[in-house]
Amino acid sequence: MVVSSKPILENSSHIKTCKPHVSDDHFSIDIPVIDMLDPQAKFHITKACQEFGFFKVVNHDVPKETITKLEGEAVKFFNLPQCEKDKAGPANPFGYGNKRIGTNGDVGWIEYLLFSTNSELISEKSVNIPGNSHLFWCAVNEYVSGVRNIACLVLEMIAEGLKIEPKNVLSKLLRDQKSDSCFRLNHYRPCTQLEALSGGRNLIGFGEHTDPQVISVLRSNNTTGLQICLKDGTWVSVPPDHYSFFIIVGDSLQVMTNGRFWSVRHRVLANSLKSRLSMIYFGGPPLSAKIAPLSSLMEAGEESLYEEFTWGEYKKSAYLTRLGDNRLGLFEKKIKIRQYGHNLLI
């Protein structure tokens, strides 16, 4: 078991705060690495979710062949002529998209495929994939099955680490047949004119944001670019590891733990030399599921920090905002406290 409880920053005398662009001297960090076979993993996961909202898992049981098979199919698709890729789009919201992210003006140096993982929708009929689409969809389904299992196992370890019952109180949301989960393949082409295009600043591949769902499972090839924002506002680079998975706490899990866990802001910067391919499973609950702090977790007298809402309500609200907006802000309660004889709202 290897776990780093504190961030180690390079060039710490030049710490930067969250800004749309930073110069090339951004920092690396030693993030928590969780061995899924470690008997103490549930406690290390809980600590990582509280401190970072982000960690890497190893010994995860997803075969390398499953990973390489899907990466090969994804590379074949993204290497197609543009006119062929366009047949799988436009993304609305599922399908192929290029540079445009969502419908509210966000753009990035990216092209992507987005699918629902609902069993009725993730099929050869859902998006038109040119070529041997049967091989493509077989690879997608095999991979999604594997990462969904990782997400559910992590959520069950979280329940055990927090001592909440039942053990599947979180994972059942993802295993539900009506689970509103989705899967995304992101491709960031090399930006050979990066400096000229961005005036010497880093070009954004995918802008800073939090994930609105419960939990995300991310994997990429060996190209750098992913960054997370620490609680003090420092952006740090995440070293890639193409056979491990990174777990990201989502907004919904932050609410369900009443702020004990932290939905981490993250982004991807473009690379001037190499392409980056990432695969992300977003574990979401059914649209009708109520998102609120778990009663079995709340201590005596503890107040909820958030208004209760359904996943469908939050999803609708989230997709009306820009990527970098504080989506949870609309659902935070104004808590009344008494200080020096006056009622204050915070």
Q: Which of 171, 207, 153 is CA-nearest to residue 289?
A: 171
pLDDT of residue 145: 95
User: For residues 34 and 182, what is the distance between their CA atoms, to the nearest angstrom?
Assistant: 24
Region 46-73 average pLDDT: 96
Q: Which of 144, 334, 107, 176 is CA-nearest to residue 245?
A: 144
Asked if residue 312 lies in contact with residue 319, where contact means CB atoms within 8 angstroms, the answer is no
pLDDT of residue 27: 55
For the record, the structure tokens of 336 come out as 């009344």
Region 15-25 average pLDDT: 35
Query: Is residue 305 pLDDT above 90, yes or no?
Result: yes
Residue type, 240: P
Asked if residue 111 lies in contact with residue 98, where contact means CB atoms within 8 angstroms, the answer is yes
Who contacts 256 (Cβ-Cβ below 8 Å, separation ≥6)?
Answer: 170, 214, 291, 292, 293, 294, 297
Going by pLDDT thresholds of 50, 70 and 90, the confidence category of residue 191 is: confident
Q: Which of 1, 148, 139, 140 is CA-nearest to residue 61?
A: 148
DSSP state of 86: G
Per-residue model confidence as pLDDT tens digits over 254-295: 999 999 999 999 999 988 789 999 999 999 999 999 999 999
Average pLDDT, the chain: 86
Cα 46–Cα 47–Cα 53 angle in degrees, nearest 5: 80
Q: Which of 13, 28, 4 is CA-nearest to residue 235?
A: 28
pLDDT of residue 122: 58
**Alpha-carbon distances, residue 2 vs 5, 41, 44, 46, 187 (angstroms):** 10, 10, 10, 15, 30
| 308 φ, ψ (degrees, to nearest 5) | -75, 140
User: For residues 314 and 132, what is the distance between their CA atoms, to the nearest angstrom?
Assistant: 37
User: For residues 221 and 20, what is the distance between their CA atoms, to the nearest angstrom?
Assistant: 25
Who contacts 173 (Cβ-Cβ below 8 Å, separation ≥6)?
Answer: 179, 214, 283, 284, 285, 286, 289
Per-residue model confidence as pLDDT tens digits over 277-288: 999 999 999 999
Q: Which of 294, 60, 305, 301 is CA-nearest to residue 163?
A: 294
Asked if residue 281 lies in contact with residue 240, where contact means CB atoms within 8 angstroms, the answer is no
Of 205-209, 211-215, 317-321, highest mean pLDDT: 211-215
Instruction: Quote the strand ranges of 136-225, DSSP E.
Output: 182-188, 204-209, 215-220
pLDDT of residue 192: 74
pLDDT of residue 271: 84
pLDDT of residue 260: 97
Of 164-173, 179-188, 265-274, the poorest mean pLDDT is in 265-274
Instruction: Quote the strand ranges of the chain, DSSP E.
Output: 27-28, 33-35, 54-58, 95-101, 106-116, 182-188, 204-209, 215-220, 226-229, 235-237, 245-249, 266-269, 276-283, 290-291, 309-310, 336-339, 342-345
User: For residues 57 and 34, what is the distance between their CA atoms, to the nearest angstrom?
Assistant: 5
- What are the catalytic residues? 276
Asked if residue 282 lies in contact with residue 211, where contact means CB atoms within 8 angstroms, the answer is yes
Region 223-248 average pLDDT: 94
In this prediction the pTM is 0.86
pLDDT of residue 200: 52
Of 79-93, 96-110, 196-210, 253-267, the poorest mean pLDDT is in 196-210
Helix (H, G, I), strand (E, B) or coil at 203: coil
